[in-house]
């Protein structure tokens, strides 16, 4: 095989089992590519090449033993390398959350999703860059410098999981983990031309995820196709006694090809809703055109396309930027220089708190902490946070009503393709507006899947998202897989 880093996850797993490739050769190929190209992109905050190669050797021994005795069990992803967003705890790796306040912090345990994937045989290459505490839409808020988009290094990769999205797009890893609080998997997936899943809230454990907004955060996956992402999602989903927000609900087997479906019309019987509120004034014309063309392709594949309305969509932005900062204000109170990370010195306790938080939190994190603290303060709680929660319920009911008519909702991921680095740095509102199409799914807790549907005139990827019924990620994967079987956008790679 000429270039091991260009292989799909399915082919990698098959080739490892057959002995056509070794895990060491595969891991070495990714590490060499990272060493050669990551200085351009700044994807990784931490790498562990020796540890990864040692794990690869162990995987190769397991694979050899399995070939001698194929009746024995072998974890599905044995020998497969992957990358982890630096907001998830991985024992032996630093976990900075892209912040100076956690500089050098080494968690003594693994996040549940990491444990489940390690049990499935994966090899962890390293930790990827992120907006500080996952607060951002461009990965420019990282205290360790921005990540660049592999399709054009003058542009952002999206955020906050921009490091994991860029790592996947650049073929530094076949799959990567990210998190999505307001669009932080789907928007960078769109900007980087890869596939990314935001699961239903409660489907995947958050234990070991450094919290931003506890009622919004979910752990997601990036890959090159719906098929690749579905494999990893299935292995990490399910109830976790360490996370009380996970639901004890079985994870259905994901059938990418529905039984009895026509080969030419695999989506026959499915209804796709198109919400008028997502095609608004100001959307980049190329984005709208590519998404509408993708919806026409779904129709050609047998789906019935219907107009739907999500009337409270316009309130998602202000609702999110009251609820998420309020939860961040509470969650980030624990970072004070006493228990985690470095400490600014002083003889007085309160000065230690002030200096550590004042000097080591970045400006966006400070902005959101102050917004959230204000929204939670006496005299303002009911008018702001309480009111936002009521409108959040209306947004959820919009989706419930839409899903009485259709199986999924199809919409753009973002109003534009990837913007230039620094373009929105001094305009927080313009940055927040980049998430206007992704926020509603987080507020409603529904699953969302983003995948590429074309390119704009600058050669930057355009993404579409499907949003579905709670816990029906399988339907999203089936539709995206059918689209990807009929098109080739997901097979394109940036020229680095």
d(CA 429, CA 452): 26
For the record, the structure tokens of 197 come out as 């899943």
Is residue 340 included in any domain, yes or no?
A: yes
Q: Any alpha helices (H) in 213-310, and if so which ranges? A: 226-236, 285-300
**pLDDT tens column, 168-180:** 999 999 999 999 9
**By CB neighbour count within 10 A (0-12 exposed, 13-18 middle, 19+ buried), where does 427 fall?**
exposed
d(CA 396, CA 70): 48
Alpha carbon separation from 409 to 150, 402, 412, 450 (Å, rounded)? 29, 8, 10, 12
Is residue 1 included in any domain, yes or no?
A: no
Is residue 409 included in any domain, yes or no?
A: yes
What pLDDT, on a 0 to 100 scale, did the predictor assign at position 363?
96
Does residue 39 register a pLDDT over 90?
Answer: yes
Question: What are the φ/ψ torsions at residue 89 (nearest 5 degrees)?
Answer: -75, 130
Residue 160 designated active-site: yes
Does residue 261 register a pLDDT over 80?
Answer: no
Residue 234 · residue 228 · CB < 8 Å: no
Q: Which of 343-352, 360-369, 380-389, 431-440 has the lowest mean pLDDT?
A: 343-352
What pLDDT, on a 0 to 100 scale, did the predictor assign at position 352?
86
Is residue 348 included in any domain, yes or no?
A: yes
Residues in contact with 495: Cβ distance below 8 Å, sequence separation at least 6, in sequence order: none
Instruction: Tokens 């087997």: give the residue.
Output: 253
Encode burial over 371-393: b for 16+ CB neighbours within 10 A, e otherwise.
bbbbbbeeeeeeebbeebeebbe
Residue 390 designated active-site: no
| Alpha-carbon torsion (130, 132, 134, 138), positive or negative | negative
Given the residues 160, 161, 205, 329, the one annotated as active site: 160
Does residue 78 register a pLDDT over 80?
Answer: yes
Instruction: Tokens 């129709």: give the residue.
Output: 299
Residue 414 · residue 156 · CB < 8 Å: no
Residue 319 · residue 395 · CB < 8 Å: yes
Is residue 303 included in any domain, yes or no?
A: yes
Residues in contact with 228: Cβ distance below 8 Å, sequence separation at least 6, in sequence order: 8, 9, 10, 174, 175, 195
Question: 200: which DSSP letter?
Answer: P
Residue 184 designated active-site: yes
Is residue 402 included in any domain, yes or no?
A: yes
Residue in 464, 442, 480, 444 with CA at minimum distance from that of residue 230: 480
Given the residues 22, 85, 127, 142, the one annotated as active site: 85
Given the residues 164, 184, 205, 225, the one annotated as active site: 184
d(CA 58, CA 93): 19
For the record, the structure tokens of 324 come out as 């998420």
Question: What are the φ/ψ torsions at residue 77 (nearest 5 degrees)?
Answer: -105, 25
Query: HEC string of 96-131?
Result: CCCCHHHCCCCCCCCCHHHHHHHHCCCEEEEEECCC
Is residue 166 included in any domain, yes or no?
A: yes
The enclosing domain of 146 has a CATH number of 3.90.1300.10
Alpha carbon separation from 88 to 96, 112, 136, 438 (Å, rounded)? 9, 9, 17, 22
Residue 47 · residue 27 · CB < 8 Å: no
d(CA 468, CA 200): 9
Residue 180 · residue 135 · CB < 8 Å: no
260 pLDDT band, cuts 50/70/90, is low
What pLDDT, on a 0 to 100 scale, did the predictor assign at position 344?
87
How many residues would you count in the chain? 496
What pLDDT, on a 0 to 100 scale, did the predictor assign at position 1?
59
Count of structural domains within the chain: 1
Domain that holds residue 425: 8-496
253 pLDDT band, cuts 50/70/90, is confident
Q: Within 13 Å of residue 41, how many CA atoms lie on the same side as its CB?
A: 32
Does residue 258 register a pLDDT over 80?
Answer: no
What pLDDT, on a 0 to 100 scale, did the predictor assign at position 262?
78
496 pLDDT band, cuts 50/70/90, is very high
Is residue 331 included in any domain, yes or no?
A: yes
Does residue 259 register a pLDDT over 90?
Answer: no
What pLDDT, on a 0 to 100 scale, did the predictor assign at position 273?
98
């Amino acid at each position: 095989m000429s270039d091991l880093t260009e292989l799909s996850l399915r082919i990698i797993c098959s080739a490892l089992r057959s002995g056509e490739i070794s895990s060491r050769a595969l891991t070495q190929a990714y590490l060499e590519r990272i060493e050669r190209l990551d200085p351009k992109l700044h994807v990784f905050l931490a790498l562990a090449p020796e540890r990864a190669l040692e794990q690869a050797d162990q995987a190769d021994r397991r694979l050899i033993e399995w070939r001698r005795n194929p009746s024995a069990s072998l974890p599905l992803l044995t020998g497969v390398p992957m990358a982890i967003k630096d907001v998830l705890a991985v024992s032996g790796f630093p976990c900075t959350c892209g912040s100076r306040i956690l500089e050098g912090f080494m968690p003594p345990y693994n996040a549940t999703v990491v444990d489940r994937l390690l049990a499935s045989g994966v090899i962890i290459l390293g930790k990827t860059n992120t907006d500080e505490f996952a607060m951002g839409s461009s990965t420019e808020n990282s205290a360790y410098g921005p990540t660049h988009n592999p399709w054009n290094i003058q542009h952002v990769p999206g955020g906050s999981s921009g490091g994991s999205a860029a790592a996947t797009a650049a073929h530094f890893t076949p799959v990567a983990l990210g998190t999505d609080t307001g669009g932080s998997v789907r928007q960078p997936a769109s900007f980087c031309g890869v596939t990314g899943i935001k699961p239903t809230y409660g489907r995947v454990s958050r234990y070991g995820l450094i919290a931003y907004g506890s009622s919004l955060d979910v752990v997601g996956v990036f890959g090159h196709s719906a098929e690749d992402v579905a494999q990893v999602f299935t292995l990490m989903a399910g109830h976790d006694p360490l996370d009380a927000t996970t639901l004890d609900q079985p994870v259905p087997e994901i059938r990418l090809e529905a039984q009895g479906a026509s080969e030419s019309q695999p989506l026959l019987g499915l209804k796709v809703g198109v919400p008028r509120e997502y095609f608004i004034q100001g959307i980049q014309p190329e984005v709208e055109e590519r998404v509408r063309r993708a919806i026409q392709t779904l129709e050609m594949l047998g789906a019935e396309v219907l107009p739907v309305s999500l009337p409270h969509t316009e309130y998602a932005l202000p609702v999110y930027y009251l609820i998420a900062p309020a939860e961040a204000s509470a969650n980030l109170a624990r970072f004070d220089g006493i228990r985690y990370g470095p400490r600014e010195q002083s003889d007085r306790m309160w000065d230690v708190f002030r200096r550590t938080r004042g000097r080591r939190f970045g400006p966006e994190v400070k902005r959101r902490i102050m917004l959230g603290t204000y929204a939670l303060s006496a005299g303002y709680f009911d008018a702001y946070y309480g009111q936002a929660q009521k409108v959040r319920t209306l947004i959820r009911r919009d989706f419930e009503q839409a899903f009485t008519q259709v199986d999924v909702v199809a919409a753009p991921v973002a109003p534009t393709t990837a913007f230039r680095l620094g373009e929105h740095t001094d305009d927080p509102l313009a940055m927040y507006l980049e998430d206007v199409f992704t926020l509603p799914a987080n507020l409603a807790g529904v699953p969302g899947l983003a995948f590429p549907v074309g390119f704009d005139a600058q050669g930057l990827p355009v993404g579409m998202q499907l949003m579905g019924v709670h816990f029906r990620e399988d339907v999203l994967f089936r539709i995206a897989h059918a689209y990807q079987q009929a098109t080739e956008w997901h097979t394109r790679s940036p020229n680095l």
